[in-house]
Amino acid sequence: MEYRELSVPGAWEITPKQFGDPRGVFLEWFKAEKFEEALGHPLDLQQANCSVSSAGVLRGIHFADTPPGQAKYVTCAKGAVLDVVVDVRVGSPTFGQWDSVLLDDTDRRAIYLGEGLGHAFMALEDDSTVMYLCSTGYSPGREHGIHPLDPEVGIEWPTTARDGSPLAPLLSDKDVAAPSLSEAVASSLLPTLEQVDAHLASLRNR
């Protein structure tokens, strides 16, 4: 299992070792020891989610109030998605920047997004199945979003599906109504780097 930090600090790409034989494939997609070794603190697992999406479905950009925030460890068990992390921490040197990892059922990579980061993904195939481990449970009052097509963020979403067919983004009503990054800043909706760093320090001191 290999960890590679992305260009947005606090987000990591995880590549597992796969063991195949005529029966199929086995892999470890999360290992607590390796996680803590790479990040310096454990993942406090409080909820596990599964979403199934048609090709073109675009979910995000979602984030939670920090503290406690919501860290996510994400993989794609079936199909393929482009998974994106956005730095929404006010005061961060990489504020507003994004990076991505292709999650699919071939390489079976995972992505970890720490507290205070925005998360989004687009399905590249029908029935793409995304599994994610979360550090906190669902709490609608402290969970927010930024419009995933906001030109200020400028995410380069795929226009071609896994089978080569054209791809158009399909958003929920909630994500369509989400504010732009500038609007989120103006309404003090976003976490600050100071808040996130203080929360991460408390995790490391446990």
Active site residues: 62, 132
Q: Which helix (H) or strand (E) holds 184?
A: helix 181-186
Contact present, 66 and 194 (Cβ < 8 Å)? no
Q: Which two tokens stand for residue 37?
A: 């070794």
State whether the Cα torsion 3-159-172-193 is positive or negative: positive
* 143, β-bridge pairs: 64
Helix (H, G, I), strand (E, B) or coil at 197: helix
Q: What is the largest CA-CA distance in the chain?
A: 57
